[in-house]
Chain A
Amino acid sequence: MASSSNITRRALLGAAGVAGAAGTVVAWPRLTGADIPGRGEDALTVLILGTSQDAAGRQAIADAFMEEHPDIPVLIQSVQATDWGDFFAKILTMVASGTEPDIVYTATEGAQLFAERLALPLDDYIAHDAEEMRDYFEDVHPSLVEAFMYKGSLFQLPLDFNAANMYLNLDVIERNGLEMPGEDWTHDDFTELLRGMKGDATAYYWTNRLFGGVVPWLYVNDTSFLVEERATGGEDFWSTFYPGEERSGGYLWTGSNARHERVHETVEYMRGLVEEGLAVRPEEGGGNTLVGLFASGRIGTTPAGGYWVQGLAEGGMSPEQYDVQFFPRWRTQRHQFGGAGYAVMKTTKKADQAWEWIKFTATRNAMELAFPTPSTTPARRSMVNDNLYTGVGPEHWSRFYDTLDRFPTSGPIPAPPQQAAVETALIRNISTALSGGPDQVDRSLESLDRDLRDVFSQEDAS
């Protein structure tokens, strides 16, 4: 026989209230974020762009560091972002909320933003530990170092980089009876190569962004959409570590150069390729689908850096199916590259410990832990070797580093402190320029010029 008991509404509400309170108490660590690993601990926090798996991947470096420095606990944190600009915005919100990390792994795109506003210069530390650092600088190309110098001070030690090289699909080349171009090929040779592929594959697939978009073409045509200057300073550094090198105190991008005739010529050339059906109209950013399309023989050529090698191998492409070449010569053969390294936040209270981390991660051992596969190009020349590429990389993998060694004027991604606004202006106007006739190029470059002037005048005003 069923029995029933009466619970009053008041008792029920009271029980619900007690349950709610108990639930809140139990969930308190989650509600306050206190259960986040490392939160509240006195660890040196290192922030990277990526997923939690990426952070876990770098744990080996942290473990090796802590073995050498048991007094400095390290916490690797990751932040997911769609691109570097998104990553920088998230870091700034962390700064605003008072949860900023001690160290951030950042790329050329953010180097000057960090140098101008967020990062500590490393000059004193480097001068103090000059002997220890000599091995690193002897192994790293000065162009990479110069790219991380800002107004005479060095803010990051580059650990990896990628130059804009041309990937050529040998299957497509062979199918169409073409030949792999030589190192001294010109942009006219490039056009002819694309014409030979037309109809069989997408001859030139590219994306509209600051790295690998229109900028490498501007560089080989001996121009840029920004006025490029060099800062003074850094003489002591250069004479100490790179005697004989005539280098500057870093790059300065000071205004718009969008109305220069060579910029027009370059954009018109790209528009012509699109109009002739030799190149796709570039979508903005992205490029994630490219590996699969290239590996399956549907793309003839595309610009990319050494970071592609591992992806292509994982995509099932054998080293014999593709090769890399320098960007074709136009007025020059100056190439574009972008690097990355750790920056120490100005706000850190652990600057000395942070320097120990930076010094450690620049050692050969730490870099081998960081870059076990060719998913980027290590900044140390000695690491770009057969061990890294045999069986995985293309025949001419040495061109990744040769882009710097053989073309010492190669320059970094043009990324002033206002990089986000500059990139937005470039992408917006280049996509417009490529979607119409020659008149459209004129109008778009005028618009780009106007946008860039606004960006730089706002910076001057502030």
Chain B
Amino acid sequence: MSIDRRSALLSWLFLAPTMIGVGIFVVLPIIGSLVLAFFRWDIITSPQFVGLQNFTELATDSTVGISFVNTAVFVALAVIAQLAIAMLLAVLVQSRMPPWLRVFFRSTFFFPLVLSAASVSILMRYLFNESYGVINWALSLVGIPAVPWLTSPQWAMVVVIAVYVWQNFGFSFLLFIGGLGAIPPEVYEAGAIDGATGWRKFSNLTLPLVSPTVLVASVMAIISSLQVFDQPYVLTRGGPGDSTRTVVMVIYESAFRQLEFGRASAIGLVLMVLIMLVTALQFRLARRFVFYQ
């Protein structure tokens, strides 16, 4: 056997475990889901081919429509809040402070990310309880009446977003810490000579130089938030009404509560296409707004 062939064989051998894993657990389910989207299937009876019916029904399904609107609102607000908070804290943590304090802040801000989303949401459900929650108790101390955080359509989404952002901004924060750390100090020194301080320093120097990291962070934040499930499911079960019902919740409910696996697959495919389109759009916009050193 020639060296080239042996080398190629060895390469395939190393790749095989990953490829088998991806094939079984990613590619096959995607193909299965694609096929299922054209069937009506409730597990018990045999699948029945219905063509595009699952997709056409989505167009007139008010719950699906509301869930896409809710998800869009959630993504817009959660991603902006997540990136803004992460950036603000990253800049603050990268400013002058003792190294031990920096390590403390980095660990603290990252810590919520390693917690289970379900556990955090259960805890938050207690905190935000209208009658017995600590939040309303604290507000009552300053004379503010109890707020129906989780049982009012106006407040429920706010809480879901807040809990999600609290738990997830740590990842963007870490990315920004890395991005900020990679900016050469000479750039700031030159900027200081030119009189750039405060906001001008941030907007004219820091932000452009960290823009590749912002792109990565925003792509990941958007993809992740488009698939939000745990927080609204545990906190509100999508309620009150449909006010916090997200697309992935509708997929779950269609498949595992109402046993409409075809409908669930169709919604899943629409979401997948949406995620791909949004990501492609982001990369297209990145050509104009992202600066590589």
Which residues of A approach B to under 8 Å, CB–CB?
85-86, 89, 92-93, 95-96, 117-118, 202, 205, 208, 280-285, 289, 293, 298, 418, 420-421, 424, 427-429, 431-432, 434-435, 444, 462
Q: How far is A428 from B236 in the complex, measured between Cα atoms in Å?
A: 11
B179 at the interface (CB under 8 A from A): no
Q: List 7 additional A-B contacts (Cβ < 8 Å) besides A93-B256, A117-B44, A444-B241.
A: A85-B257, A280-B131, A284-B236, A285-B237, A435-B151, A435-B240, A435-B241
Query: A424 touching B253 by the CB < 8 A rule?
Result: yes
Which residues of the other chain, B, contact A431 by a CB distance below 8 angstroms? 151, 239-241
Query: B257 touching A432 by the CB < 8 A rule?
Result: no
Query: A424 touching B258 by the CB < 8 A rule?
Result: yes
B281 at the interface (CB under 8 A from A): no
Which residues of the other chain, A, contact B253 by a CB distance below 8 angstroms? 424
Instruction: Provide 14 A-B residue pairs closer than 8 Å at the C-beta atoms, listed in order of the A residue.
Output: A89-B257, A117-B44, A280-B130, A280-B151, A283-B150, A289-B126, A420-B257, A424-B257, A428-B242, A429-B241, A431-B241, A432-B239, A432-B240, A434-B240
Binding site secondary structure of chain A: helix
Which residues of B approach A to under 8 Å, CB–CB?
40, 42-44, 126, 129-132, 148, 150-153, 236-242, 253, 256-259
Query: B259 touching A89 by the CB < 8 A rule?
Result: yes
- The residue on A at minimum CB distance from B253 is A424
Residue B43 contacts which of A95, A280, A293, A444 (CB distance < 8 angstroms)? A95
Q: How far is A444 from B257 in the complex, measured between Cα atoms in Å?
A: 22
Binding site secondary structure of chain B: loop
Q: How far is A293 from B258 in the complex, measured between Cα atoms in Å?
A: 33
Query: B258 touching A427 by the CB < 8 A rule?
Result: no
Q: How far is A117 from B130 in the complex, measured between Cα atoms in Å?
A: 41
Distance in Å: Cβ of B277 to nearest Cβ of chain A: 29
Distance in Å: Cβ of A447 to nearest Cβ of chain B: 8
Query: A435 touching B153 by the CB < 8 A rule?
Result: yes
Residue A92 contacts which of B43, B236, B239, B240 (CB distance < 8 angstroms)? B43
Distance in Å: Cβ of A204 to nearest Cβ of chain B: 11
Query: A281 touching B240 by the CB < 8 A rule?
Result: yes
Query: B241 touching A428 by the CB < 8 A rule?
Result: yes
Distance in Å: Cβ of A82 to nearest Cβ of chain B: 9
Which residues of the other chain, B, contact A298 by a CB distance below 8 angstroms? 131-132
- The residue on B at minimum CB distance from A96 is B43
Which residues of the other chain, B, contact A428 by a CB distance below 8 angstroms? 238-239, 241-242
Which residues of the other chain, A, contact B126 by a CB distance below 8 angstroms? 289
Query: A281 touching B148 by the CB < 8 A rule?
Result: yes
Which residues of the other chain, B, contact A289 by a CB distance below 8 angstroms? 126, 129, 132
Distance in Å: Cβ of A130 to nearest Cβ of chain B: 32
Q: How far is A281 from B129 in the complex, measured between Cα atoms in Å?
A: 10
Q: How far is A429 from B237 in the complex, measured between Cα atoms in Å?
A: 13
Among all A-B residue pairs, the 8 with the closest Cβ atoms: A432-B241, A281-B151, A431-B240, A284-B237, A89-B256, A420-B257, A96-B43, A431-B239
Residue A421 contacts which of B151, B153, B256, B258 (CB distance < 8 angstroms)? B258
Query: A420 touching B258 by the CB < 8 A rule?
Result: yes
Q: How far is A95 from B253 in the complex, measured between Cα atoms in Å?
A: 19
Q: How far is A202 from B132 in the complex, measured between Cα atoms in Å?
A: 9
Which residues of the other chain, B, contact A202 by a CB distance below 8 angstroms? 131
Which residues of the other chain, B, contact A282 by a CB distance below 8 angstroms? 151
Q: How far is A87 from B152 in the complex, measured between Cα atoms in Å?
A: 29
Which residues of the other chain, A, contact B151 by a CB distance below 8 angstroms? 280-283, 431, 434-435
Query: A435 touching B152 by the CB < 8 A rule?
Result: yes
Which residues of the other chain, B, contact A118 by a CB distance below 8 angstroms? 44
Among A93, A420, A435, the most chain B Cβ lie within 10 Å of the Cβ of: A435
Distance in Å: Cβ of B234 to nearest Cβ of chain A: 9
Q: Known A93-B43, A118-B44, A281-B148; judge A432-B258 contact (CB<8 A).
A: no
Q: How far is A366 from B126 in the complex, measured between Cα atoms in Å?
A: 39
Which residues of the other chain, B, contact A86 by a CB distance below 8 angstroms? 256-257
- The residue on B at minimum CB distance from A208 is B239
Query: A92 touching B44 by the CB < 8 A rule?
Result: yes
Q: How far is A434 from B130 in the complex, measured between Cα atoms in Å?
A: 15
Residue B239 contacts which of A93, A117, A280, A284 (CB distance < 8 angstroms)? A284
Q: How far is A205 from B132 in the complex, measured between Cα atoms in Å?
A: 11
Query: B256 touching A293 by the CB < 8 A rule?
Result: no
Distance in Å: Cβ of B249 to nearest Cβ of chain A: 11
Query: A432 touching B153 by the CB < 8 A rule?
Result: yes
